[in-house]
Chain A
Amino acid sequence: MRLSDLGLRPGRLDRGPANAITDVPGVRVGQAATRQGGSAVGVTAIVPYGAAPRPVATGLYAVDGGGGMTSLGVVEDFGTASAPVVLASAAAVGAAYEALIDLGLSVDAGLPVGAGWPPLVVPVDDAVTSDPAVQHDLARPALVHAALAAAATSAPAEGAVGIGAGLAAFGGRGGVGTASRRAAGGQAVVGALVAVNGGEPTSLSVDGVPVGAHLRAPPLPASAARTFAAALVTDAPLMPRQLDRLAGRAVLGLARLGLYDADTREGLVLAQSTTGLVSETAGATPAPTGVAAPGAARPLKEAGLERVGLAGEDDLPGLFRAAAEACEEAALNGLVAAAAAGPAVARDGRHLPPLPLDGWPAAVRRLRPQEG
């Protein structure tokens, strides 16, 4: 089930065809999880580079330091990443890193930057229902390899799958969700995938309606994980600095539903462009927003120079809005899908029920009687 099945539709921009991060041409997503008792280790891999690893323009926005991510040196200094983006349970970072080194070596034994190195692992602190010692035992490179092998251009599953396997949010089950939006006035698509983790129960807001006020869940204990992670991809040709700004605006979408608020500990938003920094082949005419063919990566060298598409400053506001809306709906989709997974119990004994979604449509209608 998705948010749209409840008749809810935050924002005003058009959705992409499947309302998923995979609406961005060439993007693949693969997920895997493993469980033992009440513990789970989950992985969601986003592969933005198309056919073969190559430098993909990358920016990020770190809330309070960002909760840790590998490959920071290259992302910050070069503004590129050539490895899959792997959201992983925090206890599985080492295993994920190993798996991505394996992948990099299979591409080029010299592990050059720009051909699958360095590994980009985003840890998600999900030791709520899971025992981190058990997670540590469960975490194996094979799990990450399975997620990568499963990567496909079809819309990814949502809810308590992949990185969403053991998340908790707003006093109930958390999960992974995805959505997409078309930037106003252009051809570009912005897709988002969010690991919905954390969030104070009373902070939950759906399309601006504070439904959390009705939730009877107690406040989160101090030990609760309160870190989220989000990945954005767009086919607009943004350069790293512009992607940093895009990621910063996406956070506002997460603030709108209450996932990012004063109680949030850390969070990370990664933003990538499938066409930024990509040299265009001779003769190609860019679309108005400069969208190049996906996977077009043969450099055009004219006397030592390369030619790349670059989004205009005037294109950015439309993309910013798309990022914020896509993130907001992706997170809500994650919550809606996780509600179908049934209840869970936190290690401290707290019950994590599925969120009561039935009240959402009525609550929104009450506030906006004129909308259908």
Chain B
Amino acid sequence: MDRRRFLELSTAAALTPVAACTTRLPGVAGRPAGVGRAGQEPARARLRDLGLAVGELPTGPLNAITDIPGLLVGHTTLIRGPACTGVTAVLPHGGDLVREPVAAADFNLNGNGEFTGLGPVRRTGYLAAPILLTDTGSVGVAYGAALGHMLAAPTPPHASPLRPEPVVGETWGDFLHDTGGRHLGPAHVAAALQGAAGGPVGEGSVGGGTAMRAFRFKAGMGTASRQVEIEGRDWAVGVLVQANCGRRRQLTVLGAPVGRRIDDLLPRRGSGTAGPAAEGNSLLAVVATDAPLSPLQLGWLGKRAALGMARTGATSTHGSGDLIIALSTGARGPVRRARQVERVPSDRVDPLLLGAVEATEEAVLNSLTAAATTTGRDGNTIYALPLDRLVEAVRRHRGSR
């Protein structure tokens, strides 16, 4: 095989313009955007690059979940033959997660999806394990590899009464990805965990979102953050989504009925026939804050991510796996002994709740603006949301009011 073909096959992770936390396949030097599989364009833009902004709160410096200090994200992307998938790892911090868990809670908006490891989170109110987001067929390998990572950590899971388990979430990406082919391997998962870092976060067709589509446009990973003030102190709320949700006609951007205006560019099989009628059906969201919150308060925060998703038009259909986990790095520390903890009083949390709504809405929209048209197995293609027509549709909607 010639050098160009070799690079095409193995630098799929170079789709994103930012390199800080996107792991290439082992052994291959990173290449800038532009080199990829035929039919694939590099990652494109963030919503704000288009002059569009969600809500009223200011963003954090990166407008990403990594605006929460210490929180780490890593992607591995695998596009090769019939494989079009990846895994995204989220670590609440880079220290000993079992000795110093973070407060956490989950919210099940519609339960047709998987998020392993929530039993210990629900029982204790703490997360002492990494979060992994991937495709449906890769949950097992992700769980196993994450468990291996936890067993090798300074404090293994069985050494704590928390008895944590890997938290692995999934969405269905079968149109582009050969779900049953066992393509993702333990090394891919380990790379995402070990390569997890702060800094800008790759969006679109990367990591767990590589094969995913929302509103029948190419989507996948998206992130955003907000900065809120409570009694003179600033806190960050950041959201990372793996967006696979919504029907085309539902797509709403800043109130504009974009999905009704752009009714072409529907998914297409390699054989030339139209893609499946079944439309988007899942959203995974990780909501993080450095504000010290209790598990119960984090449950409130997680619920608000559902309201952010709703603003993009998705309605959480019966077939959806819309699963949310919320965590607080401000509520981090040993939990075995009685102690005093600081927290935001419950009657002061509203700014954080608003931040979660806005950041989730923006994260979903970012997944759409970032993702490039992607071709996967059997030549199946999901098209990117055309940015010029998006901007035009929003402008027209504003002008008409």
Interface residues of A (CB under 8 A from B): 77-79, 237, 239-241, 245, 280, 286, 288-290, 299, 301-316
A314 touches B337 (CB 8 A): yes
A310 touches B339 (CB 8 A): yes
Task: Name the residue on B nearest A279 (C-beta).
Answer: B345
Selecting from B33-41, B61-69, B288-296, the interface stretch reads: B288-296
Selecting from B229-237, B362-370, B381-389, the interface stretch reads: B229-237
B340 touches A304 (CB 8 A): no
Residues on A with beta carbons closer than 8 Å to the beta carbon of B341: 307-308, 310
In B112-133, the 8 Å CB interface with A consists of: 123-125
B336 touches A314 (CB 8 A): yes
In B308-354, the 8 Å CB interface with A consists of: 335-346, 348
A240 and B338 alpha carbons, distance in the complex (Å): 15
Task: Name the residue on B nearest A237 (C-beta).
Answer: B338
Nearest Cβ on chain A to B289's Cβ, whole angstroms? 13
Residues on A with beta carbons closer than 8 Å to the beta carbon of B340: 280, 286, 290, 307-310
A239 and B337 alpha carbons, distance in the complex (Å): 14
B292 touches A305 (CB 8 A): yes
Option from A288, A299, A303, A307 in Cβ contact (under 8 Å) with B338: A288
Residues on A with beta carbons closer than 8 Å to the beta carbon of B344: 304-306
Residues on A with beta carbons closer than 8 Å to the beta carbon of B294: 239
A313 touches B295 (CB 8 A): no
- Is B161 in the interface zone, CB < 8 Å from A? yes
A304 and B351 alpha carbons, distance in the complex (Å): 13
A-B contact pairs, 6 of them (CB 8 A): A241-B124, A301-B345, A303-B231, A305-B233, A305-B292, A314-B336
Residues on B with beta carbons closer than 8 Å to the beta carbon of A289: 338
Query: Binary interface profile of B, 232-275, with partner A (CB < 8 Å = 1, else 0)?
Result: 11000000000000000000000000000000000000000000
Task: Name the residue on A nearest B296 (C-beta).
Answer: A79
Nearest Cβ on chain A to B172's Cβ, whole angstroms? 31
A305 touches B338 (CB 8 A): no
> Given A304-B344, A304-B348, A308-B343, A239 and B125 touching (CB < 8 A)?
yes
Task: Name the residue on A nearest B235 (C-beta).
Answer: A304
B336 touches A312 (CB 8 A): yes
- Is B12 in the interface zone, CB < 8 Å from A? no
Task: Name the residue on B nearest A303 (C-beta).
Answer: B233
Task: Name the residue on A nearest B330 (C-beta).
Answer: A305
Nearest Cβ on chain B to A187's Cβ, whole angstroms? 10
Task: Name the residue on B nearest A288 (C-beta).
Answer: B338
Task: Name the residue on A nearest B303 (C-beta).
Answer: A77
Residue of A280, A302, A304, A311 most packed against chain B (CB within 10 A) = A304
Task: Name the residue on A nearest B299 (C-beta).
Answer: A77
Residues on A with beta carbons closer than 8 Å to the beta carbon of B296: 77-79, 239-241
- Is B162 in the interface zone, CB < 8 Å from A? yes
Option from A237, A241, A308 in Cβ contact (under 8 Å) with B295: A241
A304 touches B233 (CB 8 A): yes
Nearest Cβ on chain B to A234's Cβ, whole angstroms? 13
Query: Binary interface profile of B, 31-56, with partner A (CB < 8 Å = 1, else 0)?
Result: 00000000000000000000000000
Residue of A239, A299, A305, A316 most packed against chain B (CB within 10 A) = A305
Residues on B with beta carbons closer than 8 Å to the beta carbon of A310: 338-341
A255 and B125 alpha carbons, distance in the complex (Å): 27
Residues on B with beta carbons closer than 8 Å to the beta carbon of A314: 161, 336-337
